[in-house]
Amino acid sequence: MALLEVKDLRTSFFTDAGEVKAVNGVSFELERGKVLGIVGESGSGKSVTAYSIMQILAPAGKIVGGSVKLDGEELIGSGENVMKTVRGNKVSIIFQDPMTSLNPTYTIGSQLMEAILLHTDRNKKEAYARAVEMLQLVNVNEPEKRMKQYPFELSGGMRQRVMIAMALACEPDILIADEPTTALDVTIQAQILELMQSLQEELGMAIIMITHDLGVVAQMCDEVIVMYAGSICEQGTADEIFYNPQHEYTKGLMRSLPSASTAGTRLQPISGTPIDLLNMPKGCAFAPRCDAAMKICIEQAAPRVDVNADHRSACWMCVKNQIDNGTIEVKGGEVNE
């Protein structure tokens, strides 16, 4: 049994302009000790997927369907008491902007200790020792001094490390990191990623790494989910996604990246503009921007097909390729695998 099983998760925001289907049928599994990357453009539903797992949505947001099982236990509809023990104890989250989740009016020490006291049965003295130990673990220098300082007194990289310390204080089984390094410089980002990797190996936790940086994914992740307009368009091992992409959006994304070898040539951008979730097309959500779009793409959403045991994709071009090479057959207009 996988540590985390998400099945057909659906989350909507009910706004004045209508229902925004921010997460629209997301399914994946996460094994113990693995690093899963979630990529996709801005607004594709990466954060809302994470917030839905944690059940920390904004008031307008509701989980309208699906299942989230942690260690086999269903979390959706389990109630706030269960979720309180899940959050922090079993699943922790690091937010993109450390300033939004660190309280500016309390010292680093009191915030760390509060997290520890809340989630473990340590007493105050033990919690203090544990907090200092956590700061050491994430390479914050002079931890005793930092305990007495306020968030604004620390650099951005140091605040992010404090966030990681706070998220790890209770040794969660799963760490969700929502763009943990986007606001940081590359040399500081390298420090944080290295730190996360070594802690992951040491503590054996699983990580869900949300990012738009495919370089970070390549460095960190075993498995990758690519999201577009609230749905997973492609998922598989990192090697499959990078070296054998099958969805036209993923292919376009990989093609558009600048690198040393593109210098002196024109990049190959994805055309068009990002999707508007309130005006979703009828067929494949990516069809209006897809250079390979066929008639069926405009009319009908693509089914999810297995590319191989490590790789699934929901793209009609992928279906077409499989029909052409005989991997799947078409019977009476239905696609059968």
Ligand X SMILES: Nc1ncnc2c1ncn2[C@@H]1O[C@H](COP(=O)(O)OP(=O)(O)OP(=O)(O)O)[C@@H](O)[C@H]1O
Tell me: does residue 224 bind ligand X (CB under 6 A). no
Tell me: does residue 13 bind ligand X (CB under 6 A). yes
Amino acid at residue number 20: V
Tokens of 245: 């992409």
Amino acid at residue number 174: I
Tell me: does residue 331 bind another protein (CB under 8 A). no
Whose tokens are 């049994």? That residue is 1
Binding mask 131-170 for another protein (x = CB under 8 A): ----------x-------------xxxx------------
**Exposure b/e, 19-40, CB count within 10 A at least 16 = b:** ebbbbbbbbbbbeeebbbbbbb
Among 18, 31, 124, 215, interactor with another protein by CB under 8 A: 215
**Nearest-angstrom CA–CA distance, 287 and 239:** 25
- Of 69 and 212, nearer to ligand X (C-beta) is 212
What is the radius of gyration, based on Cα positions, of the chain?
21
The secondary structure element, H or E, covering residue 124 is helix 124-137
- Cα–Cα distances (Å) from 191 to 140, 157, 262, in that order, read 11, 9, 28
Among 56, 60, 129, 190, interactor with another protein by CB under 8 A: 190
Among 7, 69, 122, 212, interactor with another protein by CB under 8 A: 212
Interface region with another protein, contact rule CB under 8 A, candidates 11-19, 81-89, 180-188, 320-328: 180-188
- Of 44 and 250, nearer to ligand X (C-beta) is 44
Tokens of 189: 């980002």
Within a 10 A sphere around the Cβ of 306, how many other Cβ atoms? 15
Among 1, 16, 17, 58, interactor with ligand X by CB under 6 A: 58
Query: For residues 94 and 180, is the Cβ–Cβ distance under 8 A?
Result: yes
**Nearest-angstrom CA–CA distance, 87 and 166:** 12
- 68-107 binders of another protein (CB under 8 A): none
Interface region with another protein, contact rule CB under 8 A, candidates 50-58, 171-179, 268-276, 295-303: 268-276
Whose tokens are 């420090």? That residue is 191
**Nearest-angstrom CA–CA distance, 22 and 112:** 32
Tell me: does residue 37 bind ligand X (CB under 6 A). no
Interface region with ligand X, contact rule CB under 6 A, candidates 38-46, 63-71, 233-241, 306-314: 38-46
Among 12, 47, 52, 111, interactor with Mg ion by CB under 5 A: 47
Among 274, 282, 299, 329, interactor with another protein by CB under 8 A: 274
**Nearest-angstrom CA–CA distance, 212 and 226:** 10
Parallel, antiparallel or unpaired: strands 35-40 and 206-210: parallel
Among 58, 142, 202, 266, interactor with another protein by CB under 8 A: 266
Interface region with ligand X, contact rule CB under 6 A, candidates 55-63, 259-267, 289-297, 325-333: 55-63
- Of 9 and 137, nearer to Mg ion (C-beta) is 9
Give the chain's largest Cα–Cα span.
Answer: 72
Among 37, 40, 236, 252, interactor with ligand X by CB under 6 A: 40
Q: Which among Mg ion, ligand X, another protein, none contacts residue 15 (Cβ within 5 to 8 A by kind)?
A: ligand X
SS3 state of residue 330: strand
Residues in binding contact with another protein, number by CB under 8 A: 46
Residues that bind another protein (CB under 8 A): 41-42, 141, 155-158, 185-191, 193-194, 212-219, 238-239, 242-243, 252-254, 256-260, 262-263, 266-271, 273-274
Residues that bind Mg ion (CB under 5 A): 47
